[in-house]
């Protein structure tokens, strides 16, 4: 007997303006972010399943009493954080403070939950700041719980966004992070995760894609994470200034673990 499983219809939802009506806030000045500078370069860094397993083995002891292991995204984000800060020290000859920013999707996390098919920039930002001394002493095993707990708290705060003063909570957080990101004395690193967007399942009538990638994003110090076709690895698209990329590519840990 053949079982036919129903296919969930994908119906785009455009109701987000009902929850977030325009308030004429203007365009925030991100300072260091978008640029058409020709020295901005992008490199694809591949973490295959073996590389992910290697990273997971390094932090398994942190999760001995937990029923959940560190996600692939958290492992790769933490590893890249350490490598980017290490290459920044190599370039400058000294450590400096940093601001680590992770984009968080608020769909299905609010109360009541917004549809996963809601259209719009429905995001908030998880962020954590580290001093120069901390960036010098911390390593991969420190960044995994630090970034994991930061994102976890931000996700839990999503339940407040549609409640009383929710708009204030959302926009004050965005304004705070944007203001810090504009401080040129610290190293602001931005991560966004597209691994769950299902790009490899898209079929416009001529088959599913063999490989998916992203369009040009003129934003420095940005890392975009995408699934591999097999969904067991991660492609990291790293956007840096040319000089910064030189130091990053010479990092021995990057050379050893990635392709």
Domains along the chain? 34-197+210-232+241-257 (3.30.559.10)
Q: Residue 170: what pLDDT?
A: 86
Q: Residue 11: what pLDDT?
A: 87
Cα gap 128→143, rounded to integer Å: 10
Nearest Cα to Cα of residue 128 among 81, 84, 90: 81
CB of 223 closer than 8 Å to CB of 240? no
Q: What is the mean pLDDT of each run of 10 residues along the chain (259 residues)?
A: 67 86 62 64 96 96 85 98 97 97 95 92 95 96 97 94 84 89 93 93 90 87 96 96 96 93
Q: Residue 38: what pLDDT?
A: 72
106's tokens: 């608020």
Q: Residue 4: what pLDDT?
A: 62
Q: Residue 167: what pLDDT?
A: 81
72's tokens: 């692939």
Q: Residue 165: what pLDDT?
A: 80
Q: How confident is the model over 122-149, as pLDDT tens digits?
A: 999 999 999 999 999 999 999 999 999 9
CA dihedral 14, 162, 166, 148 (to 10 degrees): -90
CB of 127 closer than 8 Å to CB of 101? yes
CB of 84 closer than 8 Å to CB of 190? no
**Strands 123-130, 98-105: pairing kind:** antiparallel
pTM above 0.75, yes or no: yes
Is residue 243 left, alpha or beta, with left meaning phi > 0 and alpha meaning psi from -120 to 50?
A: alpha
Q: How confident is the model over 26-67, as pLDDT tens digits?
A: 665 555 455 566 789 999 999 999 999 999 999 999 888 877
């Amino acid at each position: 007997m053949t079982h036919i499983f129903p296919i969930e219809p994908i119906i785009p939802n455009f109701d987000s303006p009902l929850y977030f009506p325009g308030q004429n806030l203007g365009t925030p000045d991100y300072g260091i972010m978008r640029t058409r500078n020709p020295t901005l370069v992008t490199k694809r860094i591949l973490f295959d399943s073996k590389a992910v397993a290697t990273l997971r083995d390094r932090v398994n002891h942190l999760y001995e009493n937990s029923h959940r292991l560190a996600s692939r995204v958290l492992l790769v984000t933490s590893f890249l954080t350490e490598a980017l800060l290490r290459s920044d020290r190599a370039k400058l000859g000294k450590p400096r403070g940093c601001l680590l920013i992770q984009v968080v999707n608020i769909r299905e996390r609010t109360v009541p939950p917004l549809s996963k098919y809601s259209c719009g920039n429905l995001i908030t930002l998880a962020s954590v700041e580290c001093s120069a001394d901390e960036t010098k002493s911390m390593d991969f095993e420190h960044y995994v719980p630090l970034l994991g707990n930061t994102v976890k708290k931000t996700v839990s705060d999503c339940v407040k966004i549609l409640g009383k003063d929710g708009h204030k909570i959302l926009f004050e957080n965005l304004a705070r992070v944007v203001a810090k990101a504009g401080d040129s004395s610290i190293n602001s690193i931005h991560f966004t995760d597209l691994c769950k967007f299902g790009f490899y399942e898209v079929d416009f009538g001529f088959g599913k894609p063999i490989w998916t990638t992203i369009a040009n994003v003129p934003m420095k110090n940005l890392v975009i994470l995408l699934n591999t076709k097999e969904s067991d690895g991660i492609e990291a698209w790293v956007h840096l200034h040319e000089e910064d990329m030189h130091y990053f590519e010479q990092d021995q840990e990057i050379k050893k673990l990635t392709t």
